[in-house]
Structure 1
Amino acid sequence: MSTYHENLKNKETIRLREIQKELPPFLVEFFRGIAQTTSTKTRLGYAYDLRIFFRYLYEEHRALGGIEIKDLTVEHLNEVTSDDIDSFMEYLTYYIRQNYENPENNTELHNDEKGKSRKLAAIRSMFKYFYRKKKILANPATIVETPKIHDKQIIRLDVNEMADFLDAVESGEKLSDHQKAFHERTKKRDLALITLLLGTGMRVSECVGINIKDIDFKNNRIKIIRKGGNEVFLYFGDEVEEALQNYLENRRQAFTKEEGDDALFLSSQGKRITVRAVQNLVKKYASGVTIKNISPHKLRSTFGTNLYQETGDIYLVADTLGHADVNTTKKHYAEIEDQRRRKAASYIKLRKD
């Protein structure tokens, strides 16, 4: 694993330990118990979501309300029913996070179906673990209905928009005067980065973790670390190769502030570019060429759409995008599949002219 990914994992581990201090002490066993089957990022997400759940119990629960979170024991989970979890799901629609030291800084929060489902997954995992260990009498989370997530129309760039987008990155014509002042210094980096995203469909988190040594120009491929920690090679075409080669001429002369860091894409400060910086970069260029809300994930959707339209192979698309379940891919490209079926119907002639 690269130094970047090791450092990221270490930061997540430290943050997880910090959040655990705000949770009931018995959850230390839970996080240790699932460590072999989940990533640090997943456990950190669980910790954030369970913190909200236990704050809710402290503020709202009929039996556990008022009991300090640090004083809760695993036996207290027996007081939580499926109705309590249902009530928590409803609570998540709109709630106020209390700032007890300064009530004027209370925060209003909302959760859609996706946010609720994620929090329910954390609660289910916790109850499942302690029920399997026979430390609680029942698992009420199993009978709580998962919120129905309504499919949203996938936003992607069409062929003309994609060409205009790349032209805007290269020329900088659509930028403000202030942005143009920096464009000359960064345009080769920006073009290489966006061309790579559009040409491979990789996640932005995978992109920022790439080191120069991960690029293999002999085979036109690049090594990335997937979400689960697996190393895979993605292959790229001539346009991506050209953009990367042009950028690397400048990159090799750049000063890297972080010793030993072989990061492919650097910020203006000479450090590895961040996910947030890439998100802002994409938004900056896209705003001048389309009214669509374009993000790095939308560039990933654009790649997936193009690949599926060219090959019709949903399994290839799933594998290239790194989807663990092909059904996830099918759901995203159902609209295109429907268009293909409609088109197929026009090929069938029951009576020849």
Structure 2
Amino acid sequence: MTAVDGSQAPWAREALADFELHLRAERDVSPHTLRAYLGDLADLCLYAANVGVGEPEGLDVGVLRGWLARQHALGRKRATLARRTAAARAFTRHLHRRGLISTDPGLLLGTPKRERDLPAVLTQGEAARLLDEMEAEGALGLRDRAVLEVLYGTGVRVSELCGLDIDDLDTARRTARVLGKGGRERTVPMGEPAARAVADWLRRGRPAIVTKDSGPALFLGARGGRLHPTSARRIVHTRIGEVGVPDLSPHGLRHSAATHLLEGGADLRSVQEILGHASLQTTQIYTHVSAERLKQVHRQAHPRGAE
């Protein structure tokens, strides 16, 4: 899987392969992070080769800053620059720990401030329309309803939803056991509509699709295999389009769930636990979403709100 290039120096190819093993075995990063970091570092090593770096020790802070400056000149977004800086710092730290470089130049890099774009969310009325008006005919219809109810009702990530097994559900307590980022397990509450939709799917939908290869997967694709995140995203876009509310991804339903929890009076720490955020700072963006919603209501409803 390592993203190597024939024009990279041999040391770089070996170091990237070793770093990939480190990410897989020791840090247990997500597949998305693994691909992003390896792609970033392959580009860094190619840049280093082009500026004459022939050994690990040549990968100094000047080379790192030159590479990042080139990324900025190419118009990369702040979020991309922040991730590439993090990848470079992790890589040089790994090289230093392996004894391939005498000092760690990544320690001298600053981290660009990431732009905090407010996520798009549905209003509570739009979410209700989506789930109340969506047609759920046949086995796949029952599955699609359950998928959307669980995504919005629990705020889980699409990868977490697709990873659910039947035994992860506690129907008596209306909770689901979720395996999140970094292998962290958490228990999320499931409201009555989501629990009812899942029960309907298990009783009347899943038996019509299940095969000997389905295993314990809660949600299945049309051919009986475990539902893939790509298919789940397609389900969300299709169903939203049929109802006619603003288009969102599964992550948009997660954003909507978090925003509506806060609007309903939930405290930030509880929302953090439900979403599985490692840092409270990640959850705090939803307070800005709610504040923007309040300002919009004020502008529309107050006699002097638009002035």
TM-score computed with the length of structure 1 as normaliser: 0.73
Q: What displacement does 1:252 show?
A: 4.3
2:46 to 34, 41, 55: 55
**Counterpart contact for 2:118–2:288, Cα < 8 Å:** no
Q: What displacement does 1:31 show?
A: 4.0
**Residue deviations 1:10-33 (CA, integer Å, cap 9, x gap):** xxxxx4xx5479752134444445
Q: What displacement does 1:234 show?
A: 1.4
Q: 1:148 and 2:113 equivalent?
A: yes
- Shift in alpha-carbon separation, 1:286–1:255, aligned structure 2, 3 A: closer
**Counterpart contact for 1:258–1:271, Cα < 8 Å:** no
- Structure 2 stretches lacking a partner, 5+ long: 7-11, 296-307
When Rg is computed on C-alpha atoms for both structures, the one with the higher figure is 1
**Counterpart contact for 1:254–1:270, Cα < 8 Å:** no
Root-mean-square deviation (Å)? 2.8
Show the counterpart of 1:82. 61
**Residue deviations 1:217-239 (CA, integer Å, cap 9, x gap):** 11111111111112222121211
Show the counterpart of 1:287. 241
Higher relative contact order (CA 8 A, sep 6+): 2
**Residue deviations 1:237-257 (CA, integer Å, cap 9, x gap):** 211111111111124423434
Q: How does 1:168-207 map to 2 (within 5 A)?
A: 168-170=133-135, 184-207=138-161
The whole-number CA distance in structure 2 between the counterparts of 1:215 and 1:335 is 31
Show the counterpart of 2:175. 221
- Shift in alpha-carbon separation, 1:218–1:188, aligned structure 2, 3 A: same
Q: Give the 3-state SS of the residue equivalent to 1:150 in structure 2.
A: coil
Q: How does 1:16-95 map to 2 (within 5 A)?
A: 18-19=2-3, 24-33=13-22, 35-39=25-29, 41=31, 42-58=33-49, 60-61=50-51, 63-64=52-53, 76-92=55-71
The whole-number CA distance in structure 2 between the counterparts of 1:339 and 1:251 is 38
**Counterpart contact for 1:155–1:292, Cα < 8 Å:** no
- Structure 1 stretches lacking a partner, 5+ long: 1-14, 65-71, 96-109, 172-182, 342-353
Q: 1:278 and 2:257 equivalent?
A: no
**Counterpart contact for 2:95–2:101, Cα < 8 Å:** yes
2:263 to 304, 309, 318: 309
For this pair of structures, how many residues does the alignment match?
289
Q: 1:321 and 2:275 equivalent?
A: yes
